[in-house]
Amino acid sequence: MSSSTASRLGVPADLLQDLADANRILAHQGIVDAFGHVSLRHPERPDRFLLARNMAPALVTPDDLIEFDLDGNACHGDERKVYLERFIHAEIYRARPDVNSVVHSHSPTVVPFSVVPSARLRPVCHMCGFLRDGPPIFEIREEFGDATNLLISNREQGASLARKLGDHPAVLMRGHGSTVVADTLKLAVYRAVYTEVNAQLLSTALPLGEVVYLTDDECLATLDVHAGQIDRPWNLWKKAATEAA
Ligand code: MN
């Protein structure tokens, strides 16, 4: 890794490596493909965040990370090509001081739950208790009409998405994908993976008959377990992604 990137951004090199690893983990776990992204709020500048340049997540290294302000502008005169949907990250960091990491993906089993309003993505497994009563669904037509390309490509659309997210840990985006947030990078990655897992489990259960979901108290009781064991999946997923590279 280039130590100059770490000093230029004022971020410890191991944190930049973690963010690069998060990109590779999410790709290897099938949450992102050529598209999708993960960001981290700057540890010293809450009004800044770190996100890769425009590229496939599986290929991201620390030197590919760019610092952005909350208007979605690249800092330090960085002129490399950036993600169109960086406003997802910028506006969520602006609206949610408790959030330090954001994952946006099009993970395939989640998308159907964004287009069938009656099939709410409620938690069916203890690993997914953070979903509580199910993520809200962002409908871009509500504010931006029925002729958009469905992407979040400006500040206004990002702010609209952040409003729909509210204080939830996840928001589905109709016909597009989902965005999950957490107070740490590792927990955001965990939630992105297990949002997809819950969608797979629920898709399997729904045709079998009436589904029993976790109660809200059961959901709340799972939260400390996830945070307390977060290094376990992270280390496994990191090793698997590294070996596959
Ligand atoms: Mn997208």
Residue 35: inside a domain: yes
How far does the centroid of ligand 1 lie from the alpha carbon of residue 208, in Å? 31
Cα distance between residue 117 and residue 73, in whole Å: 35
Tell me whether residue 85 is one of the annotated catalytic residues. Answer: yes
Instruction: Give the Cα separation of 232 and 226 in Å (integer).
Output: 10
**Which of 44, 67, 79, 85 is an active site residue?**
85
Structural domain includes residue 173: yes
Centre of ligand 1 to C-alpha 153, Å, is: 9
Please give the chain's pLDDT, 245 residues, in tens. Answer: 566 888 888 999 999 999 999 999 999 999 999 999 999 999 999 999 999 999 999 999 999 999 999 999 999 999 999 999 999 999 999 999 999 999 999 999 999 999 998 999 999 999 999 999 999 999 999 999 999 999 999 999 999 999 999 999 999 999 999 999 999 999 999 999 999 999 999 999 999 999 999 999 999 999 987 778 999 999 999 999 999 98
Ligand 1 centroid to 191 CA: how many Å? 17
Q: Give the model's pLDDT for residue 224.
A: 81
Residue 4: per-residue pLDDT: 80
Looking at the domain assignment, is residue 177 inside a domain?
Answer: yes
Residue 51 lies in a domain: yes
* 92 domain residue, yes or no: yes
Determine the distance separating the centroid of ligand 1 and the alpha carbon of 237, expressed in angstroms.
Answer: 23
CATH number at residue 27: 3.40.225.10
Q: What are phi and psi of 101, to 5 degrees?
A: -155, 145
How many domains does the structure of the chain reveal? 1
Q: Does 243 reside within a domain?
A: no
- Which backbone phi and psi does 67 adopt, to 5 degrees? -90, 135
Please tell me the distance between residue 151's alpha carbon and the centre of ligand 1 in angstroms. Answer: 6
Task: Tell me, yes or no, whether 218 lies in a domain.
Answer: yes
Report the distance separating Cα 41 and Cα 67, nearest Å: 9
Ligand 1 centroid from CA 140, angstroms: 12
Give the structural domain span for 48: 3-237
Whole-angstrom distance, CA of residue 135 vs CA of residue 195? 10
- Closest to 157 in 3D by CA, of 67, 70, 85, 65: 85
**Rounded-to-10 torsion of CA 172, 173, 178, 183:** -70
User: What is the value of pTM for the model shown?
Assistant: 0.97
CA–CA separation, 107 vs 132, rounded Å?
Answer: 19
Compute, in angstroms, the gap from residue 65 CA to the centroid of ligand 1: 19
Does some domain include residue 242? no
